[in-house]
Structure 1
Amino acid sequence: MLHLMLGRAGFGKTSCIHQELASRVKEGEQRLMLLVPEQFSFESERALLALLGPKLAQTVQVVSFTRLAQRLLQQEGVSSSKRLDDSGRAMLMSLALSQAQDHLTVYRPQAQTPGMIQSMLSASAEFKMCGISPDQLGAVSHSLSGPLGSKIADLSAVLSLYDALVSQSYVDPMDDLTHFARLLSQKPLLQGWQIFLDGFNGFTGQEWLVIRRMMEQASDLWVTLCTDRLDDPDNGSGLFSPVSETGRRLRRMAKEAEIPVASPVYLNEAVRFASPCLKELEENIFRYDSLPCESKPSDIVLYEAADPFDEADFVARSIHRLIREQGLRYKNIAVIARSIDPYLGILDEALHRYGIPCFADRRVEVETKPLPQAVLSALEAVSSRWDTGAVLRACKTGFMGLGTEDIAKLENYVLLWKISGSRWTSPWHGNPRGFVEQETEEDILALEAINGLRERVMAPLLSLEQGLTGTGAQMAQAVWRFLEDVAAPDTLRAMVQQLESRGEHDLADQLNRSWDSVVGLLDQAVDTLSNADMTPSRFRELLQLALTTCDLGHIPQGLDQVSLGSADRMRPADVEVAFLVGANEGEFPASNASSGLLGDSERKQLIAYGLPLSDTAQQRACEEQFLTYTSLFVPSHQLYVSYTRQNFSGENTLPSSLFSEIRRCFPSLRIQTTPQELEELIEAEMPAFDQCASHLKDNTPKAASLRAYFSASPQWSDRMSALFRAADASPIAFSHPEGARALFGGSMRLSATRIEQYHLCRFAYFCKYGLSANVRRPAEVDALEYGSMTHFLLEHLLSRFDSSSWEALSTSEQLSCIEGLADQYVCTHLGGWEDKSPRFKALLRRFTRSCLALAQHLFREQEQSSFIPVDFELAVGRDGDVKPFTLLLPGGERIQVEGKIDRVDIMQKDGISYVRVVDYKTGVKKFRLSDILYGLNMQMLLYLIALWRDNSKYGSVVPAGILYMPALESAVELDRHADPKALALKKTAGFKMNGLVLDDPTVVQGMEPGAKGIFIPVKALKNGGFDARSSLASLAQLGRIEEHIRRILTQMAQSLQNGDIAALPIQGSGVDACQYCPYHAVCGWEKGDASRPFQTMKNDQVFETILREEGGISHE
């Protein structure tokens, strides 16, 4: 007999069914079965255990459709073949699409894409659940014309091939219910059973087939339905229309089978709700003929959140308050979203901040775990012919036998030398330090170690490459051998033990189960792909697709936890308070969007041809409304509903119809927003600290109380100190100067580059030279390397030729000479010509032609100058040819500035030695004397002063100046008809040096007779003076510059020793210390923050400023 029990949400249907079962158990009846949806199984078993006790509860079999089918099929020996899982389905569907591709019309272009494989699997699952065979599709396709007919014909062809491939070796669990129904038609396995169906609102086509046999065999079939009537005055569009249709269909089926039908049992009293408000809401919601309720609902809260983060904080704050004020248990609270996935990482994190334990019903993707990633990365490395990213990803999974430091060394080397492709398969020769002139013993040992790491990584990968041939089954076996080669089981065991020791049992369990997933997937591949030839790339795609179908589940780590879940998956019991989040338009209820390969109009056409498809637009709309209804009435005591003004993408959103419908029922209900009062936001320490930070400078008693509490707390006091520093914009500094002195030293050996970096930004100096947080740069011929090459070429040219011998060469001979030197440089500094790209060679040719023009200008300048080059790459330092610039600090420590001078020129005149320093610049370096006021551009002046004050190398010398010589030929803009002479003048002007020259006619004439301003930044006037743009300084002024530099360096040393590392960059007049700074992401400096303003000045203004400093007025 068929018994229908009808009642709306919360009316006690489940309790009544349990009582019916209990009464029969106590009467001694045996064949009792409770059939529930899979997600209801645990809660149903627990409820019966509590009602009947352990012994009697065993009398009732609690099963789902799938578990019942599997049990009886195995009992009868029908399901003895291998069972197919999701990964096997993906592989077989790929094969089916591959075999059918040439015969397809609509789906041929996308046949081998992962997206099409997934779509076909979804279509197969849907048709099987609806009881539609590929043959039925084929028959219907002959009656259809146009695109739909072709589409259905394609589906029939692919799914027929797929089913044939499955049947060769497997049983598809998706066919279990179909096989079960067929088995029941042959054997009365359920004869005499009393079967109770609870928790269903509708059934699939396969389930209907089973229910028909149940009706015929069971002595009683009870079905609960969430509706209050069987008729449908709303013609399919009402809240309970789909459920009522389920009831009517059950009655029709029973009558067709001549099964007695009992009068429906109507439950008319809500028993779940302890809150009158929820009871009233259930009676009126989605019933548009109902009248508004006059009562003010105290147990229903509507909340408008600014964004999902505000919403998550509201939920966590409210739960914390409920626990504190009402003494609720966490397990009696549920948070329901239409889809919980977007909230993960936001909602659970908010609950964690409030100290609230929670369990999220979420899918844990196996493909993100280290072992599957190791397999996929290794396959990608092979199929891509050693893509560096893939090889390094494999290393970083931990399964390639390298530790963290080894991986870092390998990655640094690979990035340094841009290793990729076949270079992974042969020994490396590049120096681990990059381009160096001399290789040390340490370099050789380091390179040997790195090559050892390369071999350890590549040995198993090369073995894998050899095995990845033939069929997919052979490739799966090669992957298994790869896992053995890298000792994957031992590595995984060590990883699990480490996680267990840290108390991360859930992650440890997931890692363990990832092994089962990977091994099971390989087993499936051996079985399903034994006759499928494919490329390594295709095999990897299939493996990755199969992995996406696997998940590890998520086991609750406690008994008392808040439940988080999606509305269509979550079936919580004993919930007193529920939070419905994300009630935005189009989200909850979800928008009525069609999915899959068939559109809504196509579905309607197929239904018209007799195919029992579901999921039309109207059905989806009704199901969404019903799902929303059942979610609303999960709780017994209180309901919270929230939406966000902005979604996860930052787009503006509106509340869903749920808000307006609740307010229609309760017009007096007001929508709450984020509280403005501070005490309403304070529920736990961590969020309270956030509020303290937000209101740090508020002059209110509440804010003061928060500041006092956290400042006095040992746990929070350090964070409070950091907050105060940030709020006061306190410059970054060492908390104890002793630490700075230990890091930077008392006495310091500095370079001009370090000095410049410090004055550009002290924090950047700290990062680079204190922390050694250096940017990893590839060994390539960049601007810096071109500069080094230029220095090398010019040094050798000037030491080998004078102006007359150079001019004696033809242009081709000059170019040949430069090319020879460039070749020498490549061999001695850049690791030789091996692995040099055609692009490198082309750039080098262009560079040598540019150097020819530079050399020709250089020798022309030398020919007319009295200054003779005497030294190149001259070392300045304690162990150098010239003693360093030395400064004695007030505390007795010393500063020494060391470096190398590109070129030293000397002129002997009237018994006096004049010295100048020349630097070659491949960039657009311009000397501005005003730079030194800010501690910038002092390198050449420091070298000149070192030569001036140290008589050991050249004896007593007079400083004649510093000059920057452009080392690259600049572009020339001229009329196309310009004569060669004009072109030559323009090119010469492009090589004009800039810098600072001693204001002495002897020196000026010695550098450029006539001082026409062609070679040096000085131009004579007819009256014997120099024009205003000439860059000159007297000997006394050079002395003042020296004293200024000493003051600057003293201040620098004292600031460093005091721990001053403030992020105070120089900004202004075209100087921006932050523009290319690699540390900008960590310093916290933003536009508008305090900086050191930079301003250019004329030379006379600079000397005036220095004079004021000497008078006691500091520039800083």
Structure 2
Amino acid sequence: MAFRFVLGRAGSGKTTFCLNEIKQRLMEKPEGRPLIWLVPEQATFQAEYALVSAPELGGTLRAQVLSFRRLAWRVMQEVGGTARLPIDETGKKLLLHRVIHRNKDRLRRFQASADQMGFLDNLNQLFSEFKRYCVTSEGLSRFYSERFGSLSASGGSLEDKLHDLQLIYGDFEMELSKLYLDGEDYLTLLAKQLGESDYVHDAECWVDGFHGFTPQEFAVLEQLAQRARNVTLTLCLDRPYLNGEGLYELDLFHPTARTMLELQERLRQQAVDVAEHIVLSDSPPARFGDNPMLAYLEAHWGDRVKKPFTDKGEVNGGSSVRISAAVSRRAEVEGLARDIVKLVRDGGLRWRDISVSVRSVEAYGDLLAGTFRDYGIPHFFDQKRSVMHHPVVELIRSALETVLNYWKYDAVFRCVKTGLFLPFAEERDPQGGKLRIDRLAMDQLENYVLAFGIQGSKWTDPKDWTYSNRTNLEQDEAEARAADEAFLTKINACRRAVAEPLMELQNKLREKTTVQDRVRAVYELLIRLQVPERLEAWSQASLRCGEPEKAREHAQVWERIMDVFDQLAELMGEQSTSLDLFAELIQTGFESIKLGLVPPTLDQVLIGSMDRTRSGRVKHMFVLGVNEGVMPAKITESGVLTEAERERLGSAGLQTAEGSRRRLLDESFLIYCAFCTPSDGLWLSYPLADEEGKSLLPSDVIRQIKRLFPHTRERLLFNDPASDASSGEQLEYVAHSDKALSLLVVQLKQWMQGSPMSGVWWSVYNWFARQPEFGWKLSRMIQSLLYTNKAPALSDPTSRQLYGEHIETSVSRMERFVACPFSQFASHGLRLKERRIFRLEAPDVGQLFHAALSKFAEQVEMEGVDWGALTARESEERAALVVDALAPKLQGEILLSSKRYLYIARKLKQVISRAALMLGEHAKRGQFRPIGLEIGFGNGQPIPPLIYELNNGVRMELRGRIDRIDRADTEQGTLLRVIDYKSSAKMLNMAEVYYGLSLQMLTYLDVILTHAPIWLGKEAEPAGVLYFHVHNPILNAKNGLTVEQIDKELKKRFKMKGLLKADPEVIGLMDSSLIGASGHSELLPAALKTDGSFYKTSSVASEAQWNTVRGYVRRTIREIGTSMTDGRIDIEPYRMGQSIACTNCSYRSVCQFDTQLEGNDYKVLPPIGKDLVWELMEKQAEPKRRGSVSGFRPAASRILPLAALEIAASTEDESDALTEDELNSTSGRKENDGGET
């Protein structure tokens, strides 16, 4: 029995030495004792491939590539030891949970952590470490007993930890020994059983690819050396290290030198013969024979003082070591992909000749996967896959969360979006008709649930959902339900498809409390949803789509989930737990599942982490993310034991894994091994900024490389080629057809903006133009360059199809068109709506205010009560009754849905009560009384519509609903006024009237005056239009207020805004305090002087002005209607002062309005004073002759319009034209790029 060390620096041919000896043995004697090639787990695939692909070997049964664990399993199959059940990480955590709870009362330090899954993870990792370092439970207990006194002097923390650890570890090991076999015990059993193994006896063994060993692995090597014919161990070392030789801790080869010294001492103690060391000392190493730069890097990486490389031939011929800085990680990965494509396309390489190394695969994984797909680069990630993203795992987690969190929206629809509640095969409803439940139907269900705030018991209630999509509180209940019947049928079908399986799960989970029964309940849910059949179908579909990795993932996940269930049932089956803990145990089990996938093809780029992946023979390696704090890695403390506690344990004689300090020192060796992996080229890169734009610094590794190779030019990688880049640099971006086409579009756009474009990209353009398969793509992309964010007018056929020859519309739609034509088109033409969410918003409150005050007034009138005589208490009682009656009708009973909304309802009652009191004050002081509340006008309404015959032949009817119409009768005739309830402060801005932004109130007044003979039986005159702000103001006063002051302040806050008739008698009919008196009204926007005239601050209009504004409004509406029905849909929001149309617009994501885009400018409306507005209106609507209003006729032809509204049929007379100054002062102008007008 002999042991042999084969030593050599990186690239010296140690693996080749082993492979050649194995091949030589096979060629000499194809049959014989086993030849065992022992390599790290992650290197087994490459080693097997190297062995079976040797051309001189036709195949072999004698040689085997094994890892330590595979060797252990092979020996146990021969000798025994496989009778016990293997237990994985999930099972160990479950067992630990049981052990900790059993000993909870005896614990000193970890009692409070007993139910924390994170603590179980850390504890499991520590016990695995104990086993790798041959710390048995008996040994730990003995150590604690013997060392108790010495450790107590260092404080109580470590003492208490050791007490708990030896208690838990001992009980844990006892439980394991009864039935289970821990994977961490494999090597311990292997060391014990090697002496009995005939397989290993007289075998030859080569141990290759290791840098260090755990005590467990050292023990196996000792036994292997005594049992096998000979054992060869390769180590990456610059020279032999002899027993007793001291080590310098900063030595580059410290990890492997320490391994050699320790193993030599162990072999000496076991009296194993150690043959003369074989040192592979070729200079340069075999791997770098044709590459002086990489050979120099290997030879001098460990030098404290870096001497520059001076080989002129290599410098002039091109660099084998390249450094790239990138503006972002995306630019870094894009540059990497281009370089890989170029190496394969122009350098004659295979994909398998290239590998990518990162310090952490997680940091770059998604970016690499997406970019490599875009560039058509086949790749494989050398890491085990988590299953937390898999739909079946997500279904189980979210189903348990649904039950735990009382059917909250998020949990339920996480279940739904797995797709596992959709019918797997065609299903029919009980009535025999086809029931189509697809993703669209489930999306509609989600919208419905969001709109009505459905959660909790509403899901489990056996009654069908009947929440109406009503948007009007005045709509009839039966009518609303009839309209929704078909929709609700589908919604309830979808609801049952989701709720019934989850309700069955909920009932079973609540009926049974043992882990076994609850696992069975979850399993039955999966069977009910046909999950095994679906996984098989998904796997087959992935294979058909050329995605073998996904297919294998679907194939493995069911088995692994069942493993978790089995271990839960076996280890905790009869134990009762809370549902929260059960869900957490399931979560922990799933987090432990890691799928090991075999590379789907041999020719692909390998992506792996620097500390784990063994790349094998590659010609080029790309190392990404060479940043400070990443390479070398920042080693952080974690786990049950701190760094200081490990050091104290080590000094006391208990060996554990290396601390963070030693691991940090060993980082240099890991970097050396990675950099010396490729034979032809090393590519280093680092980003200058992260995803948030924060700057990142290059690692000291970059500075060391630059000191070794000062001639190496660092290139800068951009997302797009720089405008001043050379033709060669531009050409580097032409690496893949689809990506080149995308970059070509960017170049063309910059060229159109005035930047020069390289001839390279014109050549690219010509190439694409000549390719039939790319011609249409190029055409589409060029069209995108010529795109301007403008909406052309609809064609006449489209406009007629959309609007027809007869259109019913509202004044608010007219106002929206003026604010922005596209907004009107999106809302009324396309009928786009935002997703409804179950929350109380301003429109809902406004709707409630309108309906409540209307009901309040109706009840007062029906009961014959004097509104002005109501007391505050009576007002409160009536307001409460009205709101209580309306609350069930408002947005799915939102005001009754929670205590928060019940509180809001109480506050709304106070608002209505306060507003009603102030309206009572108006009734007390005035002669006007309500004659119409929430009264509609239009076809089928109490008041006929206004009808316009537009210039384009379309017949337009105005319809709407007026909050309140008041009437007062005098000797001179009947006066009418309109009151509009507003939930926010509002005033009538005459400039907005002039521009067409505020037409509603004046149009409403025009409607009731025009049709007064129909619904009143007599003509009427305008008294005014008023806005009433419905609110409950908060009064603040430092020294307090008297009752009189409070009353005065409240009236001031409730003072109505609007426009009134400039007649003191009319004002007196509204506020008796101004009859025969002067002063400011507390209720109205009017103030009288002693001579009976009005102050300038009064918002009043003479009879002539009322006629003018009515005529102007009609003309404006006709013009707006004509433009709208002509198909104008310009993206042209207005801007007037600080007010812009986009502020509360829901369609910005649709129109994409952006002032940075050419042609996207605001329609600027300059603010103008009230006097100028009247002057301009009079010029544009001056009466010419008696007759009908231009383009307008009443609903009934027998009703003549008011004589005061007679306007000339033609407005194109030169006498009507404004001067140039007037036009400049009033017309909408566009903003230039600088925002100036």
**Structure 2 residue corresponding to 1:946, chosen from 1007, 1028, 1037:** 1007
Partner of 1:665: 708
Is the contact made by 2:870 and 2:917 (CA closer than 8 Å) also made in structure 1?
no
Are 2:299 and 1:278 equivalent residues in the alignment?
A: no
C-alpha separation in 2, matches of 1:1082 and 1:596: 51
Aligned with 1:631: secondary structure?
helix
State whether residues 887 and 896 of structure 2, in contact with CA within 8 Å, keep that contact through their aligned partners in structure 1.
no
Contact 1:974 1:983 in 2 (8 A): no
Task: For 1:829 and 1:735, locate their aligned partners in 2 and report how far apart those are by CA, in whole Å.
Answer: 38
Instruction: State yes or no: 1:20 paired with 2:21.
Output: yes
Query: Counterparts of 1:586 and 1:836 in 2: how far apart (Å)?
Result: 52
Q: Does 1:152 align with 2:129?
A: no
CA distance in 1, matches of 2:494, 2:994: 50
The yes-or-no answer on 1:163 pairing with 2:173 is: yes
Partner of 1:10: 11
Which range is displaced more, 902-911 or 1061-1070?
A: 1061-1070
Matches of 2:703 and 2:711, distance apart in 1: 12
Cα distance 1:43–1:847, how it changes in 2: closer, same or farther (>3 A)?
closer
Query: 1:634-645 to 2 correspondence within 5 Å?
Result: 634-645=677-688
Q: How much does 1:733 deviate?
A: 4.8
Whole-angstrom distance in 2 between the partners of 1:219 and 1:414: 73
Residue 920 and residue 473 in structure 1: after superposition, are their counterparts in 2 closer, same or farther (change >3 A)?
Answer: same
CA deviations on 1:777-834 (whole Å, 9 max, x unpaired) are 4455544344333333433443444687345665544443343333333356677799
Specify the SS of the correspondent of 1:463.
helix
**Shift of the alpha carbon at 1:550?**
0.8
Q: 1:322 to 1:1082 in 2, by over 3 A?
A: farther
Find the aligned partners of 1:570 and 1:746 in 2 and give their Cα distance.
Answer: 73
Q: Identify the range of structure 1 (935-944 vs 368-377) with the bigger mean alpha-carbon deviation.
A: 935-944
Asked if the contact 2:7/2:279 (under 8 Å) is kept, the reply is yes
Matched, 1:262 2:245: no
Query: 2:308 matched to 1:292?
Result: yes
> Structure 2 length normalisation: TM-score?
0.84
Residue in 2 aligned with 1:464? 505
User: Match for residue 788 of structure 1?
Assistant: 847
- Counterpart check, 1:1090 vs 2:1168: no
Which whole-Å CA distance do the structure 2 matches of 1:1061 and 1:558 have between them? 55
| Matched letter for residue 588 of structure 2 | L
Q: Distance in 2 between matches of 1:535 and 1:181?
A: 43
Kept in 1, the 8 Å contact 2:255–2:666? The answer is yes
Q: Which residue, 531, 545, 549 being the options, matches 1:488?
A: 531
Give the match for residue 243 of structure 1: 256
Structure 1 residue 394 corresponds to structure 2 residue 435: no
Structure 1 range deviating more: 786-795 or 477-486: 786-795
Q: How far did residue 526 of structure 1 move? A: 1.0
CA contact (8 A) 2:844 2:890 kept: no
Secondary structure of 2:166's partner? helix
Structure 1 residue 312: Cα displacement? 1.2
Superposition pairs of residues 817-828 of structure 1, within 5 angstroms: 817-826=878-887
Where does residue 73 of structure 2 map in the other structure?
70
- 2:808 is aligned with 1:749: yes
Q: 1:969 to 1:657 in 2, by over 3 A?
A: closer
> Structure 1 residues 544 and 773 mapped into 2: Cα distance closer, same or farther (>3 Å)?
farther
The equivalent of 1:972 in structure 2 is: 1035
Match of 1:925 among 986, 1006, 1031: 986
Amino acid at match of 2:1052: A
Indicate the residue corresponding to 1:86 in structure 2. Answer: 89
Residues 741, 545 of structure 1: alpha-carbon distance in 2 compared, 3 angstrom cutoff: farther
Cα distance change, pair 801–668 in 1 and its aligned pair in 2 (3 A): closer
Determine helix, strand or coil for the equivalent of 1:673: strand
- For the 8 Å contact 1:751–1:898, the answer to whether it is kept is yes
Q: How many residues align?
A: 1113
**Structure-2 change in CA distance of 1:949 and 1:717 (3 Å):** farther
Correspondent of 2:451 among 405, 416, 425: 416
Question: How far apart are 1:930 and its partner, in Å?
Answer: 1.6
Question: Are the equivalent residues in 2 in contact too, given 1:1105–1:1115 (CA < 8 A)?
Answer: no
Offset, 1:760: 3.8
Cα distance, 1:1111–1:1018 mapped onto 2, change above 3 Å: farther
Which sits farther off after the overlay, 705-714 or 645-654? 705-714
Cα displacement string for residues 177-200 of structure 1 (whole angstroms, at most 9, x for unaligned residues) = 111111124445411101111111
Residue 307 of structure 1 corresponds to which residue in structure 2?
328
- Name the SS for the 1:725 alignment partner: coil
Tell me the residue number matched to 2:670. Answer: 627
Deviation at 1:974, TM superposition (A): 5.0
How far apart, CA to CA, are the structure 1 residues paired with 2:87 and 2:674?
34
Change (3 A) 1:656 1:809: closer
Native 8 Å contact 1:282 1:633 kept in 2: yes
Q: What does the per-residue CA deviation read over 1:913-938, in whole Å, with 9 as the maximum and x for residues that have no partner?
A: 43322111222222212223443232
- Which deviates more, 466-475 or 483-492? 483-492
Q: Which moved more, 1:853-862 or 1:743-752?
A: 743-752
2:693 is the counterpart of 1:653:
no
Instruction: Choose which of 432, 437, 444 in structure 1 pairs with 2:468.
Output: 432
Corresponding residue number in structure 2 for 1:353: 374
Counterpart code for 2:15: T
Give the conservation status (yes or no) of the 8 Å contact 2:1024–2:1061.
Answer: yes
Separation in structure 2 between the aligned mates of residue 30 and residue 733 of structure 1, nearest angstrom: 85
Shifted more, 867-876 versus 739-748: the winner is: 739-748
2:43 matched residue in structure 1: 40
Give me the TM-score of the superposition, normalised by structure 1: 0.93
Alignment-derived partner of residue 105 in structure 1: 108
> Counterpart in 1 of 2:1194?
none
Give the equivalent residue in structure 2 for 1:221: 231
Change (3 A) 1:582 1:1014: same
Q: 1:551 maps to which residue?
A: 594
Verify the 8 A CA contact 1:4 1:262 in the aligned structure 2. yes
Q: What is aligned with 1:1022? A: 1090
Structure 1 residue 1022 displacement after superposition: 2.0
Contact 1:593 1:617 in 2 (8 A): yes
Amino acid at match of 1:184: L
Amino acid at match of 2:1096: A
SS at match of 2:234: strand
Kindly provide the amino acid, as one letter, of the partner of residue 1115 in structure 1. Answer: S
Q: Which residue of 1 aligns with 2:1227?
A: 1115
Given that 1:692 and 1:706 are in contact with CA atoms closer than 8 Å, whether structure 2 keeps it comes out as no
Give the aligned partner of residue 946 of structure 2.
885
Q: Is the 8 A contact 1:379 1:540 kept in 2?
A: yes
1:1002-1041 deviations in Å (ceiling 9; x for gaps): 5444434537433322222223321112222345544554
Cα distance in 2 for residues equivalent to 1:359 and 1:1048? 68
Any conservation in 1 of the 2:75–2:194 contact (CA below 8 Å)? no
Amino acid at match of 1:46: Y
Residue aligning to 2:756: 700
Query: Residues 614-1013 of structure 1: matches in 2 within 5 Å?
Result: 614-648=657-691, 650-674=693-717, 676=722, 677-678=724-725, 679=727, 680-681=729-730, 682-683=733-734, 684-688=736-740, 689-690=742-743, 692-693=745-746, 695-696=750-751, 697-702=753-758, 705=762, 713-725=775-787, 730-733=789-792, 742-743=801-802, 748-778=807-837, 782-801=841-860, 805-807=866-868, 811-826=872-887, 835-910=896-971, 912-950=973-1011, 952-954=1014-1016, 955-973=1018-1036, 976=1039, 978-1001=1041-1064, 1003-1009=1066-1072, 1010=1074, 1012-1013=1080-1081
Q: Distance in 1 between matches of 2:918 and 2:53?
A: 100
Deviations 1:136-193 (A, max 9, x none): 2233334122222222332222222322332333211221111111112444541110
> Which stretch shifts more, 766-775 or 587-596?
766-775
Counterpart-to-counterpart distance in 1, 2:802 and 2:553: 44
**How many percent of aligned residue pairs carry the same amino acid?**
28
Distance 1:740 1:127, change over 3 A: farther
Which ranges of structure 1 fall in alignment gaps of 5 or more residues? none
- CA distance in structure 2 between the partners assigned to 1:281 and 1:745 by the alignment: 80
Query: How far off its partner does 1:301 sit?
Result: 0.8
Matched-pair contact (CA < 8 Å) for 2:804–2:954: no
CA apart distance, 1:448: 5.4
- Unmatched segments (≥5 aa) in structure 2: 423-436, 770-774, 1181-1215, 1229-1237
For the 8 Å contact 2:817–2:1124, the answer to whether it is kept is: no
CA deviations 1:738-773 (Å, max 9, x no partner) are 656655667543333333444444454444444444
The one-letter code sitting in structure 2 at the alignment partner of 1:472 is: V
Verify: 1:368 aligned to 2:362, yes or no.
no
